[in-house]
Amino acid sequence: AAIEKGGYDHFMLKEIFEQPDTIFDCLRGRLDAVNASITMAGVQNNIDQIKNASRIIIIACGTSWHAALLAEYIFEELCRIPVEVEYASEFRYRNPIVKQGDVIIAVSQSGETADTLVAIEKAKEQGALIFGVVNVVGSSIARISNAGAYTHAGPEIGVASTKAFTAQLVVLTLIALKVAHEKGSIETKRFVQLLNELHDIPEKVKAALKTADAVKKLADKYKDAKDFLYLGRGYNFPIALEGALKLKEISYIHAEGYPAAEMKHGPIALVDETLPVVFVATKDSYHEKIVSNIQEIKARKGKVIAIVTEGDETITAMADDVIAVPEADEIVAPILSVIPLQLLSYYIGIAKDLDVDKPRNLAKSVTVE
Ligand code: G6P
């Protein structure tokens, strides 16, 4: 078993550290930054239907749902196609409206999640194109999909998803970029710029993993907190949700993810000197706004842990603790900002002596409802 873990103490840590390689594998043969092109047969073969879709509905559960939510922001921005993100369990039971011309994207690591499978079966019957973004080759969701793109993250053993999540983000971003390029909704200059950003991501993830020692110290400092709040805006809002989910799953500490501005409508009532608030606040078009949200928390004596872009002096001066990741375009920055959050949940779980690879009550794949 020690050999399978590649020298790491747990599968979760191994899988977190594998991400520079899994992301590279996910880009391999698809991204050609030099010739400014993306090769994805599943997209290419259905390009007219996808680029002319009246609507894209993304269906998923759990961590995959968070990847879907981020994809909504990216697709709408780059492709200018309306996107809806659905919990599979809700979608399947509410007589959903699906029309011909709708494109359904199913996101699933295992490809076996019962709710996702049934949801797309229903949508398929109603005439939608089903596009699968799946990790496990040949799985049920992959087989029932009309087309798809595998995430190529390799087997994920840790129950809490890490490397499959970042691979989902990469594949969904590639799809959005390809569709936008074919549709003409993205300028060539921006297209080429984002291809280069993706090309650089594996190296930047490697750099982001270097925060591990600093994150471990944070874990020891905050491991006894009863609750955590995770806040982010825009592209980093789904990452706040994912950070909170990881912490709940691995450390059994209650954590809530929220859009940073929406916090005023509820969670702010929880803030006092005992509440750690994790801000996912890398440099993007929302930066000034999130700086004022940090001020609002500090004014109420909350403890601020901020994930920032390297060199961010403004937030460094305000926060109690700061973890810096490399600079990147706001569309791809979430792939970096999630890394310290994965590590934080891991190290808090370890500090509390919990079974991080097999948290209680959770299953790797939920094949019954
Ligand atoms: C379970 C797993 C999660 C996963 C979710 C969806 O809850 O514990 O890690 O995100 O199922 O699974 P899927 O395989 O469809 O991505």
pLDDT tens, 289-299? 999 999 999 99
The sign of the torsion formed by the CA atoms of 146, 151, 153, 157 equals: negative
User: Whole-model pTM?
Assistant: 0.97
Contacts of 92 by beta carbon, 8 Å cutoff, 6+ apart = 115, 118, 119, 122
Q: What percent of the chain has pLDDT over 90?
A: 96
Residues serving a catalytic function are 364
156-211 tens-digit pLDDT: 999 999 999 999 999 999 999 999 999 999 999 999 999 999 999 999 999 999 99
The residue whose two tokens read 């810096």 is 324
Q: What six digits make up the tokens of 16?
A: 């977190």
In Å, how far are 163, 255, 329, 362 from 359, measured between CA atoms? 17, 16, 34, 6
- Pocket perturbation via mutation, ligand 1, pick of 11, 16, 64 by most ligand atoms within 8 A of CB: 64
Phi, psi at 365, each rounded to 5°:
-140, 130
Is any atom of ligand 1 closer than 6 Å to the C-beta of 236? no
Distance 134 CA to ligand 1 centre (A): 11
Is any atom of ligand 1 closer than 6 Å to the C-beta of 62? yes
Q: What six digits make up the tokens of 58?
A: 């993304």
Q: Is the ipTM, as predicted for this complex, more than 0.90?
A: yes
One-letter amino acid of 77: E
Predicted confidence at residue 4, as pLDDT, reads 83
Measured distance CA(173)–CA(348) in Å, rounded: 30
Give the distance between the most distant pair of CA atoms in the chain: 55
